[in-house]
Amino acid sequence: MGKDKGPGLPRVVASVLAAMFGVQSRRNQERDFGSGRAAPYIVTGVVMTLLFVLGVWGLVQLVLGLAA
């Protein structure tokens, strides 16, 4: 029996990015929910959110450092 590996990393990242920007198409959303596995999307979403927050924090620190 073949083991279903699920969605690949590039597809998960693209889906999470589209969802974060609010431009996820209905067709892709149905494909993602149809995969039956939420964990890759949740983990990727948490990691990308943390990277975004750290990026904004770093940018603020850079701007504040330049203004001083």
Question: Mean pLDDT of successive 10-residue segments in the chain (68 residues)?
Answer: 71 92 88 87 95 96 86
Residues in Cβ contact with 23 at an 8 Å cutoff, skipping those fewer than 6 apart: none
**pLDDT value for 53:** 97
φ and ψ at 23, to 5 degrees?
-120, 20
Would 3 be classed as within a structural domain?
no
Q: Which domain holds residue 41?
A: 9-67
Would 4 be classed as within a structural domain?
no
Would 2 be classed as within a structural domain?
no
Which parts of the chain fold into alpha helices (H)?
9-21, 26-34, 39-67
Would 1 be classed as within a structural domain?
no
